[in-house]
Amino acid sequence: MEYRNKLVLAPMVRVGTLPFRLLAAEYGADITYGEEIIDHKLLKCERRVNDVIGSIDVVEKGTENVVFRTCHQESSRVVFQMGTSNAVRALTAAQIVCKDVAAVDINMGCPKSFSVSGGMGAALLTKPELIHDILTTLKRNLDTPITCKIRLLQSSHDTVELARRIEKTGVSAVAIHARKVADRPRDPAKWSEIADVVTALSIPVIANGDIFEHEDFERIKAATGASSVMVARGALWNASVFSPKGKRPLEAVKGEYVRKSILWDNDIKSTKHTLKEMIVHHSSLELPEGKAVIKSETLADIAYVMLIYTLLL
């Protein structure tokens, strides 16, 4: 896995499943992160080959729920992101998926209560010894590249010092969301503080925050000196943001996403959530299309909705 000069799809819960990752890659994403999966959940799963659709599934024993799905088409670029607060547990969980992905990433930036309350995500930012333990344990025992994604700390100096400690664990790269834990998405990303980290490290730094147009990829690289750029909301709202040819019409993007969701038998809840996020940014869920998506109970229902509203344009 090469982390320099890459366009990267960020990990997004309920969004970053196989169809959306393949969609982003089709438009130009070089590296695609899956949604965060908690180690506890992974330990209840087993790996299965799905010959019906040609995928590799990580399935929860007992419930038969597909927790993670991938395929050979993305094996060279998909990153499995894990939520964890324990090195041994992280290693055991990573061993289930590491042969089927290009890299394993540890989430150290999620500020949500479900993650922080379990000692995961942004809670790790104040525990450098635990960070070291988790990353070195994975690095010593796996051949798969290891990375992590963090947020800014209270001061630029603190962020740089933490990043230096992370670099010493031997990780292949570090992604930095240019916001602090208390910041909200509407708060401007602090690109200048990523630049401080880039100057201090020799490993690739992936810059993340306020990327909404294709031109923003070069803008943030110029402002920070980062090796690569990661986009979340900008890709969710229109995955063709990765394309140097310019954004495709949203209807075409939604249609291709639904097609891939059907092809790869995506979870209906995930598909509906992703479509609703696309719609609400550009329109409203109170309009007929939004209401129809909300009422849909199957992928076939979703496909019918997309067909009808495409024909009406």
Say what the alpha-carbon torsion angle 26, 38, 130, 207 is, to the nearest 10 degrees. Answer: 20
Instruction: Give how far Cα 150 sits from Cα of 85, 100, 160, 208, Å.
Output: 14, 24, 11, 10
User: Which is it for strands 55-60 and 66-70: parallel, antiparallel or unpaired?
Assistant: antiparallel
Question: Alpha-carbon distance 107 to 115, whole Å?
Answer: 9
Give, rounded to a whole angstrom, the gap between the first and last alpha carbons of the chain: 42
CB atoms within 10 A of CB 72: 10
Are 293 and 279 in contact by the 8 Å Cβ rule? The answer is yes
Question: Alpha-carbon distance 222 to 244, whole Å?
Answer: 17
Q: Which of 223, 164, 153, 172 is nearest to 195 (CA)?
A: 223
DSSP-assigned letter for residue 283: S
Instruction: Copy the structure tokens of residue 239.
Output: 């995955």
How many degrees, rounded to 5, is the angle at CA 241 between CA 29 and CA 196? 75
Are 209 and 186 in contact by the 8 Å Cβ rule? The answer is no
CA 174 to chain centroid:
14
Q: Which of 45, 71, 110, 148 is catalytic?
A: 110
Is 110 a residue of the active site? yes
Which positions are annotated as active-site residues? 110
